[in-house]
Each structure stands twice: as C-alpha cells, then as structure tokens.
Chains A and B, each alone.
Chain A
Amino acid sequence: MSTTDGAAGAEPVLRMENVTKRFRLGGILRRTAHVAVRDASLELGRDEVLGLVGESGSGKSTLGRMAIGLIRPTSGSVTVLGRDILSMRRAELRAYRRRMQMVFQDSSNSLNPRMTLRELLEEPYRVQGLHTPAEREARALALADEVGLARSWMGRLPHEFSGGQRQRVSIARALALEPELIVADEPVSALDVSVQAKVLNLLKDIRRARGLSLLFVSHDMAVVDFMCDRVAVLNGGRVVESGPTSRVLRAPEDDYTRTLLEAVPRL
C-alpha cells in the first residue's frame, strides 16, 4: 500500500514516507530488535481527520508519536507543513512544536498534580516565553471556555476533576499554542460512554472551528467511524489498508481489517 490520497493539489499538513522504527532490546551480548513500524507511508491533508487503527502492538502509537517528532524514526521521512522535521535541530524542533501538539489517553498521568487549572493552561505560553502574565491569564480563560471548563474552577488541582474534565484540560493545553496539527492518541478510551460522547463532540467542534488537521489514533472502529474522514489500518507495524473511512469500514479489502470489524460487538 503506497501513500494514501490527501487533499488533491494542496501541500499536506503531514506526510510520512517509508517510515520504519526499530527498537533495540536486550543487553550488549544478546541484542535483538523489535520493528514497531515497517515502511509506513501516509498523508494528512489540511482540515482533515485521519484515523490510525490497530490492536495493541500494531505500531499505531509509535507512528503517531513519530508524526510530531516525539520519536525519531530509524529510516524514512516526516514532513510537517512542508518542512522535514527530522533534519531540525533540537531547539528548532521545540519551537516548531507550537504548530504540532499531542493529546494523550491518560490525562491523569500527563498533568502535573500540583498545578492548578490556571497554571496548567498558562504553562504552554510560559514554556515558550509568550505573552505578558495578564495576556496569559486572559488566554487561559478563553481556553477554558472553549473546552467547556467553568472559569470558577481555575484554582482546582487535577485530582479534583473527573476523567472527562481532565481530558478537556489536556485538549485545552494542546490548543493553547494554536497548532495546525494535533495527534490524539486514544483520547477517549479511558472514558465512560456518556463522557466519551461529550469529548468526541467537543473534539469535532473544535477541529472544525479551528480548521485543524487531526491524526486520531484509536483501537475503536466505531469511534474512528464517527471521527475520521480517512483511516489507515495497522497490523504488525505495517499499513495494511487505507482509504476513506466509509469505504474501508463498509467494504474492507484486507483480511485483517475484516477480522477487526467482525470483532466489534454490535447492538
């Protein structure tokens, strides 16, 4: 399977070509390698949502992290907004991170437990050295509004929020620097059905309002069906099938995709 078709003509927001990631395991005497991603290629167009689906160990999270330079591929190329992020120096990459952000699955681990909501929402600006304190505060309030967190909660700590609210905090932090590309790794997997519905609706609304491009990593075919325009199916580190979500999920061409679909409990 070669590159999936992005928006015709326009420069894609993300292009990954023949990306491979090999993790070295073991000690000095017994070296083994685990190939997490093999020769994967994909494209994400502007204002588009691409789903990466697969089971645990399929390489979907590794691929998602490589898309924004959190993991460096062993070989292949990663281009974000027209620039090769693998050739960037560390400082340059850090500055470029403003344009590409990540939302993780378990926000209870990714939020500093001692920071208040206000501090958590102002932190991205502080780290990047942006804005005056007053301006940061105003922006933090606006972010809270955008993701549906009450302004009166600004003094609260992470443990005082529910799982769904913490996920809203993570989304707000990812939005703070106005990125153009967001990688969301299983952003709703840990949530109850009723909470999941709200967070998915929120992600959809924000994505549309901001014209964001989203790489959506998930094991849940139904959630992918709801969120994504196109989907790439991973198995054993390879992209085994990709295309428009409706086509891949209604008329899968690959046996593995079919197996995944058959395993979904249906009502």
Chain B
Amino acid sequence: MTTNSTDDILLDVRGLDIDVLTPEGPRRVVHSLDLTLRRRGTLGIVGESGSGKSMTATAVMGILPETAIASGQVLYRGRDLLSLPARERRAMAGREMGFVFQEPMSALHPTKTIGAQMAAPLRLHLGLTRRQARARSAELLDLVGIPPSRGVLDAYVHQLSGGMRQRVMIAMSISCEPDLLIADEPTTALDATIQKQILDLLAELREELGLSVLLISHDLGLVSRYTDDVVVMLDGHAMESGPTDRVVSAPESGYTRGLLEASPRLGDSPDRLPVIDKSRFTKAVQ
C-alpha cells in the first residue's frame, strides 16, 4: 500500500468520546480516540480489561448500550455513522459490516437450527428465497471449512464444538458480503491450535473477499501476527498507534513496552516478569 488518499480509507474514527451514564454522573471511558482503517487493511486494537477497546468496537458497530453515549465522528466511507438515523444505520450495518464475537454460544440462537439462523439475514438483506438462502448458507459453510457432509445446517449450536461454532459465526458474518469485518476477541475462548486455524481462516477470507478487518484483542502477540496497523489502548486512551511491525519492534510508549515484556515468552524465560506500573501511564495522557 503506497498511496494514502481518502479513497483508500474505509473507516475513519475521529475524536471519539464515549461516556457511560452512572448514578454518579457520566463517566468517560473512551477519550478522543482516532482510528484509521484502510480498504483491505487490518487494524488491531489492543488493551487490557477496562481499556475501552470493546466499547470502541461496539460504538463502531452501533450497538452501544443505552447507558452509553458516543460523540465525535465515526466515518464509514465518509458518512458519519454517529449522526445517521438508527434505522438507516441498522440497514447499513447488517449489509456492510460483519461482526464476530467472543462467545458464539451466546450470540447464536439456542433453539433454531444453524441453517435457519443463517438464512434470515440472507433473505432480509439480499432478498433471497428460502431455497436460495439455504444453498448460499451451504456455500458459506464450505468457505469456512465446514463441508456439507457435516450436516451443520440442520444442527443446533449446542451440538457444535467451540471452533465449529466460531466458524459458523464467521460464515454468518460474511454472508451478506460485507466490506468490514469487526472481530472482538474472536478466539479468546478457544484452544491455541483452534485459535490459529480461525485466525488463518480470517486472513484467507480477507484476501479472497477483499475484506477490511478490525481485530480487537487483549493479546498483543496475536494481533502482531494478523494486523498491518495497531492501536494500543489504556484506560480509554490511545497510548500508541502505528504500523504493527514498528509498534512491536520499537514501541514508543512505555506501556506498550510493558505489555510486551510482561507476557511470558516461549524460549525467553526471565526469572521474574517485569511488572507494569499502569498508574505511571494513565495520568500522563490527561
């Protein structure tokens, strides 16, 4: 990617603030955050719990809880999602954005077959007939590595393994051919070998379908393997952002360095792990 004109940018978040209403008054959980995701690019958001990374993702998706208010701009193809009426926004989000969540078990319906759940958005957003939707669902499952012989279309979510559930969710997320895929901790509940399969699958689909991917994770090691650019968040602030290679190899923020050093690494085991003093960084940004 050499050019960087505005046409190249799919998602541009500018000065995003998110306030959560509490009995004590509004509390700011994300502070003037900027993000840029290029077309066909991958952007990672990394942070620990309470960093605001998932809040940011839900704000982009338009599914913030009612007690939270986002201000600033979330520009998707130049249109500000935050000022769009809810109905327009929903119509757009279903078609153009796909979501993958951490817990497919709770995101999928327990008493509807996988086939029925997959068909619904295909019929709603793409206007397919029942039969077409079923055929398309089978194709999508095949695309994520579940051949028709597995009989998953007629299965229920509880009958599937964790890795299989996440594949189904990915198949659903790309079913309406979105341009943007938002994956919030997509593999946190999975074993390492399955995690690798799922992330490799996401990378393949990105290539094949020309998707842009926003990957939210607590794991800087994982994000470093699968993203072009990264934003490191702490307590609602971006501590550092830039090309992933640069951020990982030469972090500018002490917090990023702390995150890198505090996680145990294979083959490089110190006697004690360095401890991050988060308070040192939190106030510095204010």
CA distance A262 to B200 in the complex (A): 13
A-contacting residues, B200-249, CB 8 Å: 218-222, 224-225, 248
Determine whether A33 belongs to the interface, using a CB cutoff of 8 Å to chain B: no
A-contacting residues, B86-101, CB 8 Å: none
A265–B275 touching, CB < 8 Å:
no
CA distance A265 to B224 in the complex (A): 8
CA distance A56 to B161 in the complex (A): 11
- For B270, the chain A residues whose CB sits under 8 A away are 226
Determine whether B107 belongs to the interface, using a CB cutoff of 8 Å to chain A: no
Report the nearest A residue to B189, measured CB to CB. A56
A194–B266 touching, CB < 8 Å:
no
A219–B218 touching, CB < 8 Å:
no
Specify which of B191, B260, B276 is in contact with A55 (CB 8 Å cutoff).
B191
A194–B276 touching, CB < 8 Å:
yes
Determine whether B60 belongs to the interface, using a CB cutoff of 8 Å to chain A: no
- For A267, the chain B residues whose CB sits under 8 A away are 220-221, 224, 248, 260, 265
CA distance A194 to B193 in the complex (A): 24
- For B278, the chain A residues whose CB sits under 8 A away are 194
- Taken residue by residue from 92 to 114, chain B's Cβ proximity to chain A (1 for < 8 Å, 0 otherwise) reads as 00000000000000000000000
Determine whether B83 belongs to the interface, using a CB cutoff of 8 Å to chain A: no
Determine whether B129 belongs to the interface, using a CB cutoff of 8 Å to chain A: no
Determine whether B267 belongs to the interface, using a CB cutoff of 8 Å to chain A: yes
- For A55, the chain B residues whose CB sits under 8 A away are 191-194
Determine whether A260 belongs to the interface, using a CB cutoff of 8 Å to chain B: yes
Determine whether B139 belongs to the interface, using a CB cutoff of 8 Å to chain A: no
Determine whether B273 belongs to the interface, using a CB cutoff of 8 Å to chain A: yes
How close is A221's CB to chain B, nearest CB, in angstroms? 6
B195–A263 touching, CB < 8 Å:
yes
A225–B266 touching, CB < 8 Å:
yes
Determine whether A34 belongs to the interface, using a CB cutoff of 8 Å to chain B: no
CA distance A76 to B109 in the complex (A): 43
Specify which of B225, B269, B271, B276 is in contact with A265 (CB 8 Å cutoff).
B225
B267–A249 touching, CB < 8 Å:
yes
Specify which of B193, B218, B264 is in contact with A260 (CB 8 Å cutoff).
B193
B221–A265 touching, CB < 8 Å:
yes
CA distance A250 to B268 in the complex (A): 11
Determine whether B272 belongs to the interface, using a CB cutoff of 8 Å to chain A: yes
Determine whether B169 belongs to the interface, using a CB cutoff of 8 Å to chain A: no
A200–B273 touching, CB < 8 Å:
yes
B191–A194 touching, CB < 8 Å:
no
Determine whether B158 belongs to the interface, using a CB cutoff of 8 Å to chain A: no
- For B130, the chain A residues whose CB sits under 8 A away are none
Determine whether A240 belongs to the interface, using a CB cutoff of 8 Å to chain B: no
B262–A197 touching, CB < 8 Å:
yes
A265–B219 touching, CB < 8 Å:
yes
B266–A197 touching, CB < 8 Å:
no
A200–B225 touching, CB < 8 Å:
no
Determine whether A223 belongs to the interface, using a CB cutoff of 8 Å to chain B: yes
CA distance A134 to B265 in the complex (A): 45
Report the nearest B residue to A222, measured CB to CB. B264
A198–B193 touching, CB < 8 Å:
no
CA distance A23 to B273 in the complex (A): 39
A222–B218 touching, CB < 8 Å:
no
CA distance A56 to B266 in the complex (A): 20
B259–A194 touching, CB < 8 Å:
yes
CA distance A200 to B270 in the complex (A): 12
A192 and B49 in contact, given A197-B275, A259-B193, A263-B196 (Cβ under 8 angstroms): yes
How close is A5's CB to chain B, nearest CB, in angstroms? 21
A192–B218 touching, CB < 8 Å:
yes
How close is B188's CB to chain A, nearest CB, in angstroms? 10
How close is A256's CB to chain B, nearest CB, in angstroms? 9
Report the nearest A residue to B277, measured CB to CB. A194
CA distance A264 to B191 in the complex (A): 10
- For B218, the chain A residues whose CB sits under 8 A away are 192-193
- Taken residue by residue from 271 to 286, chain B's Cβ proximity to chain A (1 for < 8 Å, 0 otherwise) reads as 1111110100000000
- For B222, the chain A residues whose CB sits under 8 A away are 265
Determine whether B253 belongs to the interface, using a CB cutoff of 8 Å to chain A: no
- For A250, the chain B residues whose CB sits under 8 A away are 267
A193 and B259 in contact, given A200-B273, A267-B221 (Cβ under 8 angstroms): yes
CA distance A262 to B192 in the complex (A): 9
CA distance A246 to B20 in the complex (A): 48
**Contacts beyond the supplied A192-B48, A225-B266: 18 A-B pairs with Cβ under 8 Å:** A55-B192, A56-B191, A193-B262, A194-B259, A195-B48, A196-B262, A197-B264, A197-B273, A197-B274, A197-B275, A204-B271, A222-B263, A222-B265, A265-B196, A265-B219, A265-B221, A265-B222, A267-B221
- Residues of B that sit less than 8 Å from A by CB: 48-49, 162, 191-196, 218-222, 224-225, 248, 258-260, 262-267, 269-276, 278
Q: 10 closest Cβ contacts across the A-B interface?
A: A192-B48, A197-B273, A226-B264, A55-B191, A197-B262, A263-B192, A265-B221, A222-B264, A194-B276, A265-B222
